[in-house]
Structure 1
Amino acid sequence: MLKPIPNKLDLPAIDRELLDFWKENRIFEKSVERPAPKGDYVFYDGPPGTNGVPHVGHMMQSALKDLWPRYKTMQGYRVLRKAGWDTHGLPIELTADKELGLKSKRDVTDFGVQNYIDYCRQTVFRYRELWETAIRKIGRFVDLDNAYATYHPYYIQSDWWTLKQAWNLELEGEAREQALRLEQSPRYLYRDYRVMAYSPRTGTTLSNFEVAQGYEDVTDITLYVKFRLKDAPNTFLTAWTTTPWTLLSNLAVAVHPDLEYITVELKKDCDTGKAGERLILAHARHLALEPMLGEHHIVGHQKGSELAGREYEPMWDWQNPQDSAILARAGDQAFTVVCDDYVTAADGTGLVHLAYYGEDDFRILRKLGLPIYCVVDWTGHVRPEATAFAGRWFRDETLDVDILKALQEKGLLIAKEKYTHSYPFDYRTGCPLMYFPRPAWFIRTTALKEMMIEANHLIGWKPDHIREGRFGNWLENITDWNVTRERYWGSPFPVWSTENGDEAVCVEGIAELRALVEKSGGQLPEDFDPHKPQIDEILLQAKDGREMRREDFVLDSWFNAGLMPWGQFGYPAEPGSVEQFREQYPCDFICEGLDQTRGWFYTLLACSCLVAKAQIAEAKKRADRDAEAFWSNPRNWSSYRNVICTELILDHEGRKMSKSVGNIVDPVALFDKFGADPVRWIFYDSNPWNAKRFGEEEIAEAIRAVILPLWNSYSFFVTYALIDRWTPDSHAKLEPTLMDRWVKSEFHRMIERVTTALDDYDVATAAGAVSRFLDLLTNWYIRRSRRRFWKSESDADKATAYATLYEILRELVHLLAPFLSFLSEHIYQNLVRGLEPNSPGSVHLAAFPMYQASLRDADLETQMERVMEAVTLARALRQERNLKVRQPLTSLVWVVPDESSEEALAPFLQIIGDELNVKSVKLRHDDRDLVTRSATANFKVLGKQVGKRMPEVAGIIASLTDEQIQAIESGQPFRHDEFEFTVEDIQIRRLERSGLAMKSDGFMTVALDTELTDELIAEGMAREVVHHVQNLRKQAGFEISDRIALHIAPDTQELERALRTHEEYVRRETLAVDFELNTVAAETRLDANGHPFGVNLSRIAAHNQ
């Protein structure tokens, strides 16, 4: 049965109560276990790292991730909702390094790799409890007890299996030949040296999408330098560099074979060089460089191809083949001019200095057969052989300055400039990156590019422009994915190879590894941990008996995350994982931050396209037509079908939240203070892909705009239902009234809008429809229906009002359950379960409301909208004329231009009269009876026509009568002598008739009769007194049904007469069974429209009522 509503809404207490209720009654588990007539709706949870605390942005994603699974569950789907944790990778190592005081790989070795791995493992779930608390307190239903974690052996086996798919795929045709020419394996998983973004701080490479997250604008010293030709000692090649430190490792200079180059001779000594020196530069750059060349003249022209092969003197003393084994191997290929089409004359000198720190440099120098030569090493410091600069940090500006000075002393500096450009930094540590040649293993995502682009076209993106914009552009420019890292705490790379790399094996799981170990004469421990260093101890044998060691890499943690669609089940090694993967792939919905377009969203797509391509090939081999058909369908190439991108959460003032600003918000503290539902609502009421302001002010607004209207509607119903002992079957219902039919129509209008929006992953539109309906319910339907509940007699109209409001509230809490998971459950347990005990045990086990077109009445909705617009217009008019709504007025005229509307709107006139406190409402289609009109000449129009007779014409128009002006307005020309006037010729002014107040919105007009009779004034005073007494009842904490003794002492005869005239009204409205006037010693002094009075009131005991 129904329970009374507490006076104060305590959302945090409700949250605590329901968290216990859901846990004790296994509500989430039951929602997954129960029959699902519509099958599976699949959701993937992107794995967050748990070595940091959750913030408000995570909670926004949690709220969104909770909404659709609840909604689809209530529609009859099964939604598993398996949580996951990202437990590998650099963030965990950085935490360990900081706490252990480790600064380099040597430090890790000294500390002990096993000790280091153990420490990383211990830090993985340091903040897991905080995460789980926050996730539960926001009301999210998700399986935390069986969460997947990327460091578990079953997940690592899925990593290995996925790599084996790439290993088994090979390029074909010209692409295969191209790979072989580059001395690469044609497999989709191949080893290569590449110049890659490298963090000397962490000692690991970054993938291209990681690099994209860390660019910053920096200002550096750039240098124009000279290289002295060996065969012409007074002639120099010129080059420009933005990274002076790379000059320490120069090996060659590149030119474009087809560009025209000139030789200029300096006429005088200058900063650029001495008189007689000759400089070679691109002809196209001559004009731009002329200011720094001083007086000079052109003495030669040649194509870039004519410069090829010319040798120049090394720039530094240590670049001597006798002193460097590496340069000795380079032979006469080092320090020469080489041609390549990548060189341009867009900037610099048209010649490019080459060192092994750039992708094009690497390609050209490798083609020359030059060994890798890096004077700045992998730690970011200058090697000892460069004695003048040894030990210096590569991004130290003083190093650039000292290089500049050294070149100046050697006569090899032309000029220096400051240059602002975009430079990559490690987005996790802030360390500047260097492009450095490192060995790594790559997946050929370039070979999957067309698949990924086609699959992307089928993904439902929110916002939609991401498809062709941010994400589509990214796919157009992808490079092969470096999936390995030279670190420790990560999924180990499962390739074993011989020392020279001519034989290798990729292991797809622990079972295969065990078999290979036994075949090699060893034994894999039963408690085998696939992490370093244990896996590094495993040696395998090649076919000829040679030793094979594991390639010493761990996997990119983004790769771990990208294969979670099957990794979460340990596919295919874990028992039952094949069936689970088949049921849960692809997913219907994911949601993460916008930055994941270059992170998780990308790696999910890359991994699924890789697996799809491999499975198509495998299915063809097995002649498995079903599998081939499934994986050949482009809709299954992406592991996700719909994705919502979220933007930043800002503070109340619009600033990004950060520790340095001090505006970080603890989400759990907010839940404990305000409850979860208002916080959830903030995340729903505007598009999540737009930056959102967030703070206590926004939470208060959500409570005011949504939570309280819902609560007050529920409280209103329960209060009166308890008084009248109403139950759903206690009274026969009559036909619904106009208001009842309207509110049902509007309710189903909302259902349609919410369902359509949620099916389109448009949460803001859905939330807007809910907000709109709550406003209509509380501020129109319940306002206009209060007297149906207040009246003492229990007639059929009252029963219909109860039945209608109950039906609306019951279905409303069902609809709100995915949005306001706590409050909807709280209301459901009392309202629905209290009146219908056989209902499902939780609102989250109930059905989402179904749209019923038969209950819609679009005409009725339109008509009521006009009524509400008229009321809004008239209220504004009352306010302008200082006429309180409690002051009754004689009449209102409602002018609606469309004559056909009169009959349809006539039934609503009583509603308008009641709402605006006017005695009668009249409907008109024009304002002819309400205003007087006057006209003046339209001089712009008439001046050209009548010329000098304009004064005469103006006088004629000014003398037009109201009736004549109305006729002109209706389209009848007015003739006077030889003149004829139409509505375009005159300007009409309308004046309200005496005693009227008018207001128009451009479509409709309302006119109030503002003349107050003595009777109206008296009634207004009585209404004002009732208003004050109701406030006193509320302040005293009286129940709505409490009867009172009311004694009033008016100070004026006018107020006394008014109260005696309207005594019955005062008694009825205030429930005053004992009512007296002219009593003395009033406790409270008040005022009714300028008439003071005293008042005493007290509650009358129930047995005296």
Structure 2
Amino acid sequence: MSRYIPAEGQADFPALENQILDWWSAERIFEKSIEQRSEGPDWVFYDGPPGTNGKPHIGHMLQSSLKDLWPRYKTMQGFRVLRKAGWDTHGLPVELKAERELGIEDKSQIPAYGVEKFMEYCRSTVFRFKGDWEQSIRRIGRFLDLSDPYATLTNDYIQSDWWVIRQIWDKGLLYRDFRIMPYCARCGTTLSSFEVAQGYQDVMDLTLTARFPVVGLERTYFLAWTTTPWTLIGNTALALNPELDYVFVEVDGDTLILARELVESVLDGHAFRLVKTVKGRELDGMAYTPLWDFFAGPDTEGRVPHHALMGDFVTAEDGTGIVHLALYGEDDYRMIKRDNLPRIQHVDETGHFIEGCGPYTGRYFKADGLDLEILKDLQSRGLLQHKHKHTHSYPHCYKCENPLMYFARTSWFIRTSALREQLLAANAEINWYPGYIKDGRFGNWLENNIDWGVSRDRYWGSPMPIWSCACGKQLCVASKAELQQYVSQPMDQELDLHAPWIDYVEVSCPDCSARMTREPYLLDCWFNAGLMPWGQFGYPAKPGSEALFENQYPADFICEGLDQTRGWFYTLLALSTILTGRSSFRNVICTGLIADKDGRKMSKTLGNVVDPGELFERFGADAVRWTFYNSHPWGQKRYSDDLVRDAVRDIVIPYWNIYSFFVTYANIEDWTFDGQPGQLSELDRWIRSASVRVIGQVEQALEGYDVYTASTALLAYIEDLSNWYIRRSRTRFWKSEDGADKQAAFSTLYRCIRDLTLILAPFLPFVTETVYQRLIRRAEPGLPESVHLCRWPDVSHEQRDEVLESEMSLVTHAVNLGRSLRSRHNIKTRQPLRKMLLVVGRESDDAFVHRMEGLIREELNVRQVEISRREEDLVHLSVKANYRELGRFFAKRMPEAAAIIADWGMSEIETLEAGGTIDVLGVAVGLEGIAIQREEREGLIVITEQGFTVALDTELDEDLLQEGLARELVNRIQTLRKESELDVTDRIRLQLAGSPAVLAAAEAHREYICRETLAVSLDMVSANGALKPVTLNEEEAAIGLERSAGED
């Protein structure tokens, strides 16, 4: 029986991953990773709660991959990382889905359906896809505590909502106000400024400039431009800037009033006569006739609309310099309130025109064709000055995508504008990845933050814990227990704290004993999400929550999409700054969006949505994870299956092949690890130095939350290990003698695989666990039972040999250039060449290259390596003047200067390439002033890159051609061995038929062929049907082989 479990011929990575998942679960590996670090320091991760009323998509897998990487890494460093899961279960998305499924068209129909029934239905939908989420989290290999998740709908979490709002109340930062708010008429609720920021769309609207007749002046009109013609029906006043110059101009017998600076643009070439110019303040109070008489005259309180007001916010940047005011804009409302004008609200909460609006009564404010009807109405009465279509960015509901309106509502606000400096100071302590978000997108948002409208006019969410009495008394309670103090009867312990059930509780006013009424609002679901540091533990009402909170605050790391700068990231910071004076997170990665391969957003309509589960079962979760690690997380990613295939090819299979190679020969030799490094060769010392380097590189990158640099370092190391160390050490593992060099090779490669497995484990948790169980735990039974219970590798006892690494880099660079030459000139690697010529820049490199000469010969398949420091030994060098660069300096003397430069040789070139200059006719000429031409010497092919020159002698004689054929023959025999499913140690008997050239080459290299293929005999035979035909460098041949039983 083999000591180590060998690799399958064709690994089924998805199947292996499913086996590992079952083993992790059975052995409680995740739980043990926490239990075994119980004495270690806490490293805190907050999981932004996803909604579970929709299925996870590929973008969530990007975040899951990153969210799993750092907790695994920190666990390996000895930290305790709890990783509590959470679900976002409140808010508009839940209600909208319920409405669609119940056939409810809008919010107004919910009371008729039944609020309690609607609430119960919402509750029934929120965990509909929880199983899909749990499966995707499990399948991608993420360690997350799903056994005791927090959910925003629980009474414990709602009481945390209440406690937080109470703290804000006590600090005097919570207030109620009637003001203009972004409002979705379809959903029947206000939205916060950061919700609005997520829903802007570019739209083309009909805009117009209207004429407002001035009272007492015949055929005289104020001109005002608007992008929202529907608001004109509710026009209350016109605003002018008191300091701007306004003109009265006569056009076709009519007198028009507008800002002087805008006359040309507004009149657009029409002839006019200037009547007079006045300051805006001279027009203060001037009355005009409204465009419609629906709201003309004083209101019931005697307030008179429709006259000119003065406003500093009015500019002459666009429009007419006169702003039409209606109760649908913040500046408008401020002016109307300041001058005590009527509050004309001609559109109701559903977005429809109210009774009394003539032919527009009952029309939806964004109904198709409405703007055009209004325009034609004005035009028919001579009140339209101009019209045009205008593309602008207009806010839409970020959930239902209907256009928003700015609507005057009573709402509750958190005075976040008063905390601007504290928020900026807290942000200064956060490490943002990418860094430009800190003072850019997020910092700018904080600089301009306005008070947070925190109340919502919906049903499914945390109820606002504020009760009001007719006597003026208000209560803000922090918990169910506190509420009990104002209730005469004991409250049901199982009472659902959602409305309407909480509103059935009779709360008595402590001042007058009358029944109080709860403010009929919900708390913003972003408020729910932002207080998760407290809510996840039910802090402070739930027993034991205080100790948990203290240990788990603030977070060391969070990670979500870039759009959360306007969502979760902001609410986390705002609430933590209010409550604790600091941020609730220290490090944050912002991820970009994932589009399809053509850059289009993924959607069911386009048919380009990617099912993560299907990817896992085709390619494996490790490959999907690596796809996200191998680039910066914050850029837009264009997904295609090719990216996952690349991950399999570039990282999973090379790592697997390293393990496969080692186990194959370790089993043949029955090798055991004795903990001793052995007598290391120069190649061994180099790869161990590279191991020390990559461990440090990955650790440094992960400490800086730089996954791309870490992945790049890992790929480079695997390339060194697989395509250099193993390739150059391969024969050391199958030497027949049991010498010290073989033991050193085994020991060195094993230690490299062990270290690589440990540092790769947070990235590729499945395949590393497989290798760990099949190889490493069998080599060292005393190690932890899982790779994910191991500590990060400690190589402090090993020193890097940077000189050796630099020297080996020189050699690998030379070999790579040689390979590039072969590829460029279509010369197969198996075709030996007479010699390689190498120009090295420093005499100190000569000795190392000479020591590595055998390695270079074997790798490039050349008979001889010649070293020089003179490039002219390989190429004919010539220099020409760069006329475009030098012409301006030499002018008429340019031909004379060019002749001087053309005589330059290698010494002048070396001076310029070293950064120097040479005087030519009084002008200092540098490298940019010349063009160096290199012409290959006959019989050589040459490449120069980064100051390094390599040449190959391509002349082939009969001896070289025969060896090339022999090597091709060995390659075909090895392929036939694999196809015959022979073991690597099986001896064989060979039969060969072929052209005279093939047979001559085989005879000349008989010993080499037999040694490489483990053949005990090689017989030349006539072609027959039992042999497999092959082509070797255009020569025909046929091969037969059979296992040689019992022979060594």
Q: Name the TM-score class by shorter chain.
A: over 0.9
Q: Within the alignment, does 1:578 sit opposite 2:519 as a pair? A: no
Contact residue 456 and residue 472 of structure 1 kept, 8 A:
yes
What's the counterpart of residue 532 of structure 1? 499
Aligned in 2, Cα 1:944/1:253: closer, same or farther, shift over 3 Å? closer
* Matching of residues 572-721 of structure 1 within 5 Å: 572-613=540-581, 637-721=582-666
Aligned in 2, Cα 1:291/1:836: closer, same or farther, shift over 3 Å? closer
What's the counterpart of residue 132 of structure 2? 130
Partner of 1:540, secondary structure, is coil
Contact residue 299 and residue 342 of structure 2 kept, 8 A:
no
Shift of 1:1056: 3.5
**In the aligned structure 1, how far is the partner of 2:467 from the partner of 2:779?**
69
**In the aligned structure 2, how far is the partner of 1:212 from the partner of 1:581?**
32
Q: Within the alignment, does 1:508 sit opposite 2:514 as a pair? A: no
Partner of 1:726, secondary structure, is coil
What's the counterpart of residue 449 of structure 2? 478
Q: What are the superposed Cα offsets for residues 130-151 of structure 1, whole Å, 9 maximum, x if unpaired?
A: 1111111000000111111001
Contact residue 197 and residue 205 of structure 1 kept, 8 A:
yes
Shift of 1:853: 7.7
Contact residue 654 and residue 722 of structure 2 kept, 8 A:
yes
Q: Within the alignment, does 1:1023 sit opposite 2:1008 as a pair? A: no
Q: Within the alignment, does 1:190 sit opposite 2:190 as a pair? A: no
Aligned in 2, Cα 1:54/1:407: closer, same or farther, shift over 3 Å? same
What's the counterpart of residue 420 of structure 2? 449
What's the counterpart of residue 1061 of structure 1? 1004
Q: What are the superposed Cα offsets for residues 1037-1079 of structure 1, whole Å, 9 maximum, x if unpaired?
A: 1111111111223431x54344333322222111112332336
* Matching of residues 387-466 of structure 1 within 5 Å: 387-466=358-437
Specify the code of the residue in structure 1 equivalent to 2:761.
A
Count, aligned residues: 1028
Partner of 2:722, secondary structure, is helix
What's the counterpart of residue 917 of structure 2? none
What's the counterpart of residue 548 of structure 1? 516
**In the aligned structure 1, how far is the partner of 2:934 from the partner of 2:279?**
86
What's the counterpart of residue 282 of structure 1? 259
Contact residue 356 and residue 374 of structure 1 kept, 8 A:
yes
State the TM-score, normalized to the length of structure 2.
Answer: 0.93
Q: Within the alignment, does 1:722 sit opposite 2:678 as a pair? A: no
Shift of 1:295: 4.3
Shift of 1:452: 0.7
**In the aligned structure 1, how far is the partner of 2:636 from the partner of 2:468?**
49
* Structure 2 runs not aligned, ≥5 long: 912-924
Specify the code of the residue in structure 1 equivalent to 2:667.
L
**In the aligned structure 2, how far is the partner of 1:475 from the partner of 1:468?**
9
What's the counterpart of residue 73 of structure 2? 71
What's the counterpart of residue 239 of structure 1? 224
What's the counterpart of residue 685 of structure 2? 741
Partner of 2:709, secondary structure, is helix
Shift of 1:612: 1.8
Aligned in 2, Cα 1:1090/1:212: closer, same or farther, shift over 3 Å? closer
What's the counterpart of residue 777 of structure 2? 833
What's the counterpart of residue 101 of structure 1? 103
**In the aligned structure 1, how far is the partner of 2:287 from the partner of 2:798?**
89
Shift of 1:995: 4.8
What's the counterpart of residue 307 of structure 1? 283
What's the counterpart of residue 315 of structure 2? 344
**In the aligned structure 2, how far is the partner of 1:548 from the partner of 1:220?**
47
**Quick check: 98-107 or 8-17, which moved more?**
98-107
Shift of 1:1003: 2.0
Q: 2:23 aligns with which of 21, 24, 27?
A: 21
Q: What are the superposed Cα offsets for residues 921-968 of structure 1, whole Å, 9 maximum, x if unpaired?
A: 2322224555677899999999999999999x99x999x9xxx97788
Q: 2:717 aligns with which of 766, 773, 778?
A: 773
**Quick check: 239-248 or 702-711, which moved more?**
239-248
Contact residue 214 and residue 426 of structure 1 kept, 8 A:
yes
Contact residue 305 and residue 342 of structure 2 kept, 8 A:
no
Specify the code of the residue in structure 2 equivalent to 1:827.
V
Shift of 1:247: 1.6
What's the counterpart of residue 204 of structure 1? 189
Shift of 1:1084: 1.6
Contact residue 260 and residue 304 of structure 1 kept, 8 A:
yes
Shift of 1:337: 2.6
**Quick check: 833-842 or 20-29, which moved more?**
833-842
Structure having the higher Rg: 1
Contact residue 969 and residue 983 of structure 1 kept, 8 A:
no
Contact residue 757 and residue 763 of structure 1 kept, 8 A:
yes
Shift of 1:1028: 1.6
Contact residue 4 and residue 719 of structure 1 kept, 8 A:
yes
Shift of 1:345: 2.5
**In the aligned structure 2, how far is the partner of 1:986 from the partner of 1:350?**
61
What's the counterpart of residue 343 of structure 2? 372
**In the aligned structure 2, how far is the partner of 1:1073 from the partner of 1:162?**
83
**In the aligned structure 1, how far is the partner of 2:707 from the partner of 2:891?**
60
Q: Within the alignment, does 1:318 sit opposite 2:294 as a pair? A: yes
Specify the code of the residue in structure 1 equivalent to 2:431.
G
Q: Within the alignment, does 1:354 sit opposite 2:348 as a pair? A: no
Q: 2:529 aligns with which of 546, 551, 561?
A: 561
What's the counterpart of residue 45 of structure 1? 47
**In the aligned structure 1, how far is the partner of 2:892 from the partner of 2:221?**
88
**In the aligned structure 1, how far is the partner of 2:875 from the partner of 2:356?**
100
**In the aligned structure 2, how far is the partner of 1:933 from the partner of 1:305?**
82
**Quick check: 994-1003 or 13-22, which moved more?**
994-1003
Superposition RMSD in Å? 3.0
Aligned in 2, Cα 1:787/1:474: closer, same or farther, shift over 3 Å? same
Q: What are the superposed Cα offsets for residues 681-737 of structure 1, whole Å, 9 maximum, x if unpaired?
A: 00100001001122211111111111110011100000111111111029x753211
Specify the code of the residue in structure 2 equivalent to 1:1071.
L
Q: What are the superposed Cα offsets for residues 948-994 of structure 1, whole Å, 9 maximum, x if unpaired?
A: 9999x99x999x9xxx97788899xxxxxxxxxx9999999776555
Contact residue 539 and residue 550 of structure 1 kept, 8 A:
no
Shift of 1:893: 2.8
Partner of 2:543, secondary structure, is coil
Specify the code of the residue in structure 2 equivalent to 1:505.
L
**In the aligned structure 2, how far is the partner of 1:858 from the partner of 1:144?**
46
**In the aligned structure 2, how far is the partner of 1:389 from the partner of 1:1010?**
89
What's the counterpart of residue 88 of structure 1? 90
Contact residue 86 and residue 151 of structure 2 kept, 8 A:
yes
Contact residue 753 and residue 766 of structure 1 kept, 8 A:
yes
What's the counterpart of residue 223 of structure 1? 208
Shift of 1:351: 2.2
**In the aligned structure 2, how far is the partner of 1:948 from the partner of 1:1094?**
67
Specify the code of the residue in structure 1 equivalent to 2:654.
P
Specify the code of the residue in structure 1 equivalent to 2:497.
P
Q: What are the superposed Cα offsets for residues 531-560 of structure 1, whole Å, 9 maximum, x if unpaired?
A: 011112233233023332000000110000
What's the counterpart of residue 898 of structure 1? 842
Specify the code of the residue in structure 2 equivalent to 1:653.
D
**In the aligned structure 2, how far is the partner of 1:1009 from the partner of 1:832?**
46
State the TM-score, normalized to the length of structure 1.
Answer: 0.88
What's the counterpart of residue 178 of structure 1? none
Contact residue 748 and residue 853 of structure 1 kept, 8 A:
no
Specify the code of the residue in structure 2 equivalent to 1:84.
G
What's the counterpart of residue 627 of structure 1? none
Q: 1:800 aligns with which of 741, 744, 753?
A: 744
Partner of 1:1008, secondary structure, is strand
Aligned in 2, Cα 1:988/1:610: closer, same or farther, shift over 3 Å? closer
Shift of 1:876: 3.0
Contact residue 490 and residue 554 of structure 1 kept, 8 A:
yes
**In the aligned structure 1, how far is the partner of 2:1033 from the partner of 2:494?**
88
Aligned in 2, Cα 1:284/1:723: closer, same or farther, shift over 3 Å? same
What's the counterpart of residue 1038 of structure 1? 982
Partner of 1:861, secondary structure, is helix
